[in-house]
Structures are given as structure tokens and as C-alpha cells.
Amino acid sequence: MVDKDGNAVAVTYTLNTTFGTGIVAGNTGILLNNQMDDFSAKPGVPNVYGLVGGEANAVGPKKRPLSSMSPTIVVKDGKTWLVTGSPGGSRIITTVLQMVVNTIDFGMNVAEATNAPRFHHQWLPDELRVEKGFSPDTLKLLEQKGQKVALKEAMGSTQSIMVGPDGELYGASDPRSVDDLTAGY
């Protein structure tokens, strides 16, 4: 969210997996999350995203689970320039990083950066996950360098706002999620 004065808020809301626990709190219509999966329920056993946790992330009193949530505000010349974030478990950090890199380093506008194909590697499993859209030549070169490339479905679902040079706001909702919406007034 960005207001007329350039104040910004970035928020990440996640249920962890699609529909969280699948349980609705009474008659509220509110789905309960399953963030307990972000703890290491059994050290050495992967969670739903394939992350293998250790004893340090085991369930215990006064502890919080490991989280990848990374709501991000990028400031340029002292003013809000980009607000972005994404759900997606272990893929959040690489999704948000690719939004930042695509806009800053590759000069993409917010829609181009949102629509660009994504990649992710989390060590275990030891594979480079890629979305459709990368050049077959690039994928072949990566495999020749020893990468195990795995084609995956959509990764992340960014919601972003870029502030233009004259203060105009440009929003982009990720097409990977059909229920997302960019709105402004």
C-alpha cells in the first residue's frame, strides 16, 4: 500500500499451504493456517515444501517457526520506489529478490518484473526449480554445468506497487494466481 504522501506498507499474509489447515474458525469464514509446518516436526524429515529442518527449529516453548516472509519496501533517493511481497513458503525470498533484481538491475517495470519467469534453489532437494519461459539454451547450459533442472508450476504470487518519477503509482498482481487484484483510487 502506498498513499498520496509516499508512505508505504508491505504485508505478507499466508496460510502456509493452499487453504491452510482446511479448517474454518466457526462461522467466521476465516481459514486457519498451518504454520506449524514451518517448525521442524521431526529433524531430518522434509516439510511440505521439501525443506529439511534441524533440531534448532524444533517445536518448543517460547519459540517461533522459521519463516521466509519478506514484505519489502525499496527506497530510491529517500522516497518509496517499490513495494512488493509474496506468499509461497520457501520460495518467498527468491521470488521477492527476483522482483527487486528485475526492476533495479534489469530496468523492468513492475508488470514486466511480475510476469518474468522465476527460478528457485533451496539446497534440499538439490535441484534448480524453474518455471516455463526460460530459454532452452539457458537450461541446457545450466545442466552442462551440473545443475539438476526441474520444471515446476508457478512459484510465488507477488503483489507490487512501483512509484513513478512524478509520483504516479503502478500496480501489478501476479498472473500466477487467478484471484489476485490490483486496485487504486
Q: How far apart are CA 89 and CA 51, in angstroms?
A: 10
pLDDT digits (tens, 9 = 90+) for 104-141: 999 999 999 999 999 999 888 899 999 999 999 999 99
For residues 3-27, average pLDDT: 91
pLDDT digits (tens, 9 = 90+) for 73-111: 999 999 999 999 998 888 999 999 999 999 999 999 999
Q: How far apart are CA 35 and CA 38, in angstroms?
A: 5
Residue 149's alpha-carbon distances to 1, 63, 157, 171, in angstroms, are 36, 35, 21, 32
Q: How far apart are CA 146 and CA 25, in angstroms?
A: 47
Which pTM was predicted? 0.87
